[in-house]
Amino acid sequence: MAPHAEVVRLGQLDDARPEWAFQTMPGLLVLLPVAVLLAVAARTGSRNRDRRTALVDALGGTSRARALIVLGEAGMPVLAGAVIATGVVGAFWACDVRLPVTGFVVSAQDVRAHGRELALAVVTAAMVVVATCVVAARFTPTAGSNRPTGARRPPMRWAALCPVLLLIAVLGPRLWAAGTPGNVLTNWAGAAGTLATLPAAIAVLGALLGRRMSRAGRRFGRPGLLVAGQRMATHPGPLARMTAGLVIALGLLVQIVAWQGLFGAEARAAQATVERIGSSALVVRPRTTTTPRQMAAFVRELPPTVEAVRMINAPERFAVTLEGTCRGLTALQLPCRDQPVRVGGELKDQRAREIVEWSASGADSVTARESAEPADAAASTPGEVPLTVLVSVDGRELSVPALKQLAYRVLPRGLAIDTAGGEWLTTGQIKRGQGLWITCFGFVGILVLAGVSVISGTAEFLRNGRALAPISVLSGNRRIHWSTAAWSLLVPFVLAGVVGCVVGTWLAYPKTADGASYISGSFLLLCVLAVSVMGLLAWGWGAHVAARQAAEWRPRGD
């Protein structure tokens, strides 16, 4: 083997990414939200647990005793989770499973080949959850003072910066040329600042909305609306903590999808070209070793319904020349004369427009010239780049495989024959696949973060909802728990989904305004529906537990 030879595997593509690039996606988009979920779940309901831990400490309990208590509390939930995880792995073990969004099929045979690793992963995950619960219980925060604390006012400064930074992210890039570092960095800085100040803005808007809800509940005699609004106006922090993570996650996911769409813009344009002209005009790119004589021999072997037109592009003069036989030029609705003729205005034939746009982008001068000789690979003038275009005289589709077979019969290494812009279709499929995986993992991450918000929001509602027990007992009506939970949990979740998609779409406007990228309405609707379903779960769970607590409440002089 030559000292500088490079081994190329069959099917290898220059656009292929290393394996670690794919492995970082589930790590960032799924495992990071899972870690947040684990931390929140470990501290859920920690108020009573901390009191019990303090009592064990006062009675002389050791750290081992506290760890055993926590282990007993977390044992059944962790065991239930391990059983569910085993069932999921068993489903993949039993049959092939097609993953949503991506369409990738997980082979059951591959899962069985790694059965030992998967079983170990389930056991390891259970051990990590138990260890996290024990560690979280050991490092419990202690109160520094026994003085009552009032409601904290939301930070107005940071909240006021949020819309300013949003305008900078949307309008700031217009001050720079598209694609320049200033354009990209301005959008990035504005988007990062918007997402960083978003929790403060949510807290301020939540307090304002709470006051409006309280007044509306008082005016229309709706106790659930009154209680939820008053609580939201007095303590906007829990609302911000419950919804800010969702809004930020949705905004980031929309940004990722928009950036991924930029990489596939050329592929979408090439696909649109194929849909408009099909294979009625094909571009031939000779190999570096192809000689003019070989190219001429290939042209002579073409079928009678195919004509070859040579395209000479002169980028330094922003000019392009199309030359060939009168039959080929006429098929493209170009003038056919012995002397070069400059074509004024827009090209009449759609195929000619597409070919010039893809192969000579930026050319403002198109010239047609008759040539009795067949098109070859020789340049007419130094600096001019020749290109051969195969045109269907009758406008029908040309067979790319048949023409490639012909090229291999005439030339040793054949020719690169493709539709106009077709070189982008192969790489576009790779980019599209990457975008689908990012969307899939990102959507899973959104669901996990929604689960975090459900757990933390419901725990906060139940902790403060015990004050509703006397009201329901005195009124004899427990519907107040359902209405209060609806306004405290369901409505914020739905609004968080809508606001997150709106903010993400606004931040992506510099990338979607010119059509280079796009955010589909079905994707945004799916995100809002997913968050709304989690809100329904939080509503039902919180209202049911609050009503059950009210039924068990007894007056004790409080």
Say which range, 222-231, 373-382, 461-470, has the weakest mean pLDDT.
Answer: 373-382
Q: What are the residues facing 417 on neighbouring strands? A: 284
C-alpha span between 102 and 121 (Å, rounded): 24
Say which range, 358-367, 379-388, 477-486, has the weakest mean pLDDT.
Answer: 379-388
Say which range, 44-58, 211-225, 514-528, has the weakest mean pLDDT.
Answer: 44-58
Give the contacts of 26 (CB within 8 A, at least 6 positions apart): 441
Single out the residue of 413, 350, 361, 349 nearest to residue 387, CA to CA: 361
Q: What local confidence, expressed as pLDDT, does residue 148 receive?
A: 46
- CA 16 to chain centroid, in Å, comes to 20
Q: What local confidence, expressed as pLDDT, does residue 232 receive?
A: 85
Taking 50 as the threshold, does the pLDDT of residue 5 lie above it? no
Q: What local confidence, expressed as pLDDT, does residue 383 receive?
A: 43
pLDDT band at 433; cut points 50, 70, 90: confident
Average pLDDT over residues 421-425: 76
Say which range, 332-336, 346-350, 421-425, has the weakest mean pLDDT.
Answer: 421-425
Average pLDDT over residues 184-198: 84
Q: What local confidence, expressed as pLDDT, does residue 2 receive?
A: 41
Single out the residue of 357, 399, 352, 348 nearest to residue 270, CA to CA: 357
pLDDT band at 179; cut points 50, 70, 90: low
C-alpha span between 87 and 107 (Å, rounded): 17
Identify the residue with better confidence: 532 or 458.
Answer: 532
Q: What local confidence, expressed as pLDDT, does residue 35 receive?
A: 84
Q: What is the pLDDT of residues 388-406, one digit of tens each?
A: 889 888 888 888 889 988 8
How are strands ordered across the β-sheet holding 385-392? Answer: 341-343, 365-370, 319-324, 306-314, 385-392, 281-285, 416-419
Burial of 464 (0-12, 13-18, 19+ CB in 10 A): middle
Q: Which residue has the tokens 């009191």?
A: 51
Q: What is the pLDDT of residues 79-94, one digit of tens each?
A: 999 999 999 999 999 9
The CA-atom distances, in angstroms, between 51 and each of 54, 135, 147, 380, 558 are 5, 16, 17, 90, 19
Taking 80 as the threshold, does the pLDDT of residue 24 lie above it? no
Taking 70 as the threshold, does the pLDDT of residue 263 lie above it? no
pLDDT band at 450; cut points 50, 70, 90: confident
Q: What local confidence, expressed as pLDDT, does residue 60 receive?
A: 75
Average pLDDT over residues 4-30: 59
Average pLDDT over residues 410-439: 77
Q: What local confidence, expressed as pLDDT, does residue 79 receive?
A: 92
Q: What is the pLDDT of residues 266-300, one digit of tens each?
A: 777 787 888 888 888 888 877 767 777 888 888 88
Q: What local confidence, expressed as pLDDT, does residue 466 receive?
A: 64
Report DSSP state, residue 28. Answer: I
Q: What local confidence, expressed as pLDDT, does residue 11 receive?
A: 42
- Give the start-to-end residue ranges of the domains of the chain: 16-141, 153-273+422-558, 280-398
The percent of residues in the chain predicted with pLDDT above 90, rounded, is 9
Q: What local confidence, expressed as pLDDT, does residue 368 receive?
A: 86
Taking 90 as the threshold, does the pLDDT of residue 123 lie above it? yes
Average pLDDT over residues 474-489: 77
Please state the length of the chain.
Answer: 558
Task: Kindly report the number of other CB atoms within 10 A of residue 164's CB atom.
Answer: 13
C-alpha span between 72 and 74 (Å, rounded): 6
pLDDT band at 517; cut points 50, 70, 90: confident
Q: What local confidence, expressed as pLDDT, does residue 109 receive?
A: 92
pLDDT band at 67; cut points 50, 70, 90: confident
Report DSSP state, residue 376. Answer: -
pLDDT band at 6; cut points 50, 70, 90: very low
